[in-house]
């Protein structure tokens, strides 16, 4: 049985359930990621630079006694960088706790999986392994990304090794 989706007016399976997404901005672009992947949101705190790592790995923060690697999503997605970063999105992948810098949090919204469309027409450079697709939201295209795969185990291990070297 198909029913009309209230956001898109498209017909979707009646048993399809909506999932919640965190919407955030980087530069002028709107992004979303599954809310279930997010541990918490934290106001910007200073981070310690860790040398000899990828450009998008800024360093680490001490969050409640845990070392958390800080990622600059602007650099990862080849967007213009700026110093006005307001919030960390804290999430955990198989490598540990990570903090993604974002300009601001827009909203938490529900979307049906069928609303996520595959698109090769993105204005930004999001590598395919981090991309779920695109959702139309309030007359704007929203790039839906997978935060859980933004950093490989080898990258996490490299930054941990550099932290240890810095401490010695």
Q: Is the pLDDT of residue 107 over 90?
A: yes
Report residue 16's pLDDT band, with 50, 70 and 90 as the boundaries: confident
Rounded Cα distance between 46 and 62, Å, is: 9
3-state helix, strand, coil in the chain (%, to 5): 20, 45, 35
Element (H, E) at 36: none
Cα separation, 149 vs 145, in Å, equals 9
If one counts every other C-beta atom within 10 angstroms of the C-beta of residue 26, the result is: 24
Give me the pLDDT at residue 55, please.
Answer: 84
CB 89 within 8 A of CB 76: no
* Domain 18-167 class, CATH top level: mainly beta
Query: With 80 as the cut, is the pLDDT of residue 7 above it?
Result: no
pLDDT of residue 2: 46
Phi and psi, residue 117, nearest 5°: -110, 145
Distance, CA of 28 to CA of 11 (rounded, Å) = 31
Mean pLDDT of 110-127: 76
Residue 34 has a pLDDT of: 94
State the pairing for strand pair 96-102/66-72: parallel
pLDDT of residue 99: 93
Least confident span in 23-32, 112-121, 157-166: 157-166
Distances (CA, A) of 125 to 13, 63, 90: 32, 30, 22
23-82 residue pLDDT tens: 999 888 899 999 999 999 999 889 998 887 778 888 899 999 998 989 888 888 888 776
């Amino acid at each position: 049985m198909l029913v009309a989706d209230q956001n898109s007016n498209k017909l979707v399976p009646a048993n399809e359930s909506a999932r919640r997404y965190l919407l955030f901005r980087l530069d002028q672009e709107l992004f979303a990621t599954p809310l279930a992947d997010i541990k918490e949101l934290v106001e910007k705190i200073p981070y310690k630079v860790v040398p000899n790592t990828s450009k998008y790995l800024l360093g680490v923060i001490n969050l409640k006694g845990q070392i958390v690697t800080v990622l600059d999503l602007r650099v990862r997605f080849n967007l213009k960088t700026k110093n006005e970063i307001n919030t960390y999105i804290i999430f955990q992948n198989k490598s540990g706790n990570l903090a993604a810098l974002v300009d601001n949090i827009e909203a938490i919204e529900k979307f049906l999986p069928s609303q996520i469309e595959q698109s090769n027409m993105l204005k930004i450079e999001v590598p395919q392994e981090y991309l779920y697709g695109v959702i139309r939201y309030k007359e704007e295209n929203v790039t839906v990304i997978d935060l859980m795969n933004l950093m490989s185990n080898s990258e996490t291990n490299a930054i941990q090794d550099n932290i240890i070297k810095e401490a010695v």
